[in-house]
Amino acid sequence: MSKITKIIGGGIVGAILIIGGYYGVNINNNNTAIKVGIITDLSGPAAYWGESTKVGVEMAKQELESEGYIVDIVYEDYQLDAVKAVSAAQKLVTIDDVDAIYAEFNPAAIAVNSFVKDKNLLFMYDAAVTSPLKDNANAYKTYLDYQNGCKAIAQGFKDSGVEKIGMLKIKLEAGELCFTGVKEVYGDSVISEEYNLGDTDLKTQIVKLKANNIGAIINVGFEGDTMNTLKGIRELGVKALYGTVDDTITDNVKEIYAKELIGARAFGFKDVENTFANKLIAFNGNKKVASEYAAGLSYTHVKQIVRAVAKCEGDVTCVNGEMSESTADSTVGFKAFENRIADLEVNVKEY
């Protein structure tokens, strides 16, 4: 081999090592794929969010693979059923041998954590609840702060002259967190009516709120819960403003209940970057996803997860350290992890 050939060959090898080190590719681990399990709703009441999440994950996977990572994604559809969520987690850990799990919504956040909390793997959940963080040092939370978000929209209603406020409280930890935030503004005068996840007729509860002459109704469930609330407001002739979490006000909701949304207030993420939104449409066959927020969160966090796992070769303590040092990402306003909770830019909107 000539000296020139040796120099060129050595340069190529050096470049590969530099690139591999830059992107965190685990070149000493037999090119084993980083395997991430996704537990979400793909066919139930929150499928609009879960399907958007899937697009974000696949987009992240494509970009990671272009950087040299080997990524394997395993999806589990649990339809917001906590029992199915646990079964999905058991399969992902014992059969699929995943390196990390990303689970969505309150039922999975709590149920999956009960199974994985003593397992040696990263668990990240996209939900309002905070309880999984208390007994699982490997758990990370993303999504919105429901207590402060509901406090903000309640304060907005109070500042606009709403004297009495009502709440449709979903029987989940998210509902309790929101209720606590509303009470910080209105005290014990909040009129609250509960409902179960999956209930489709909320008219009985809305009639009771109407009888108390409330000026606004807050409900922080899913898209279907917002649809059912606004339907009740319309059909019962309730003169009340509406408050919710912004990702429940989808294009479908805006089209059907434009009149009922006048004066509504919602807390939510900052709008995703235009460049990301355009890339998302192109990646999704020139079709908009139902929730850019869901896609933006999963895109951002799956990239963080894969890079952390690849760098640490199965050492979950190392993975936690890498996750905690994740740098800011403007896609959906991620600033940093603070005590394992994603610090995200939040907006309060008035419709």
What sign has the CA pseudo-torsion 17, 23, 24, 30? negative
CA distance 221 to 227: 10
Q: Please give the mean pLDDT across all residues of the chain.
A: 91
Tokens representing 43 are: 């066919």
- Which pLDDT tens digit goes with each residue over 246-296? 989 999 999 999 999 999 999 998 889 999 999 999 999 999 999 999 999
What is the pLDDT at residue 267? 96
CA distance 105 to 222: 10
CATH of 34-144+272-346, one of 3.30.70.360, 3.40.50.2300, 3.20.20.10, 3.30.70.980: 3.40.50.2300
Contact 247, 293 (CB under 8 A): yes
The pTM assigned to this predicted structure is: 0.79
Which of 176, 154, 163, 180 has its CA nearest to residue 243? 154
More reliable by pLDDT, 145 or 157? 157
The phi, psi pair for 306, rounded to 5°, reads -60, -45
Contacting residues for 307 by C-beta, under 8 A, at least 6 apart: 23, 24, 64, 69, 322
Distances (CA, A) of 126 to 16, 158, 306: 36, 30, 17
Residue 13: is its pLDDT beyond 60? Answer: no
Which of 315, 348, 343, 350 has its CA nearest to residue 329? 343
What is the pLDDT at residue 247? 87
What is the pLDDT at residue 313? 85
Q: In the chain, what percentage of residues exceed pLDDT 90?
A: 85
Q: Under CATH, what is the fold of the domain 146-269?
A: Rossmann fold (3.40.50)
Contact 283, 59 (CB under 8 A): yes
Residue 8: is its pLDDT beyond 60? Answer: no
Which of 16, 45, 35, 15 has its CA nearest to residue 248? 45
The single-letter code of the amino acid at 11 is G
Q: What is the mean pLDDT of residues 30-40?
A: 90
